[in-house]
């Protein structure tokens, strides 16, 4: 089955750095846009950063200049380098894949959206 495998979450002190990674696997053939969303307790899920297969990036204003997203198209892998972390960055971070093509030799589907299960980033002193 199609899935997004996340890694890299953990505890970090304010001002520190952390890098998240996500890999599309299973029946996922290709992905148009990959990225990260986050959700803090009691808050709405919000966009953090995305990158298309052409390398076009989009960042939330709250992380612009501090976070950097990159992508390896050959492996459908995306990384989020987080620097100068703040306590307000604390949240569960979810990998996102949009415009995904899935299938095998018998059936192919287009325009699928997938979410990772989430990885916790805890910024605390």
CB atoms within 10 A of CB 109: 12
Q: What confidence score (pLDDT) does residue 84 get?
A: 98
End-to-end CA distance of the chain: 39
Cα–Cα distance, 48 to 60 (Å, whole number): 5
Q: What confidence score (pLDDT) does residue 105 get?
A: 84
Q: What confidence score (pLDDT) does residue 76 get?
A: 85
pLDDT tens per residue across span 81-115: 999 999 999 999 999 999 999 988 889 999 999 99
- Cβ(101)–Cβ(38) under 8 Å? no
- Cβ(123)–Cβ(13) under 8 Å? yes
Averages of pLDDT over runs of 10 residues in the chain (125 residues) are 93 98 90 96 96 95 98 86 98 96 90 96 96
Cα–Cα distance, 104 to 11 (Å, whole number): 39
């Amino acid at each position: 089955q199609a899935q997004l495998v996340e890694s890299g979450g953990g505890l970090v002190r304010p001002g520190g750095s952390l890098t998240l990674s996500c890999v599309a696997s299973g029946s996922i053939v290709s992905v148009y846009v990959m990225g990260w969303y986050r959700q803090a307790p009691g808050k709405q899920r919000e966009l953090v950063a995305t990158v298309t297969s052409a390398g076009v990036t989009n960042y939330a204003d709250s992380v612009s200049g501090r976070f950097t997203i990159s992508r390896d198209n050959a492996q459908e892998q995306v990384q989020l380098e987080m620097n100068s972390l703040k306590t307000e960055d604390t949240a569960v971070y979810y990998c996102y894949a949009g415009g995904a093509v899935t299938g095998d030799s018998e059936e192919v589907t287009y325009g699928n959206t997938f979410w990772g299960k989430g990885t916790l980033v805890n910024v605390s002193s």
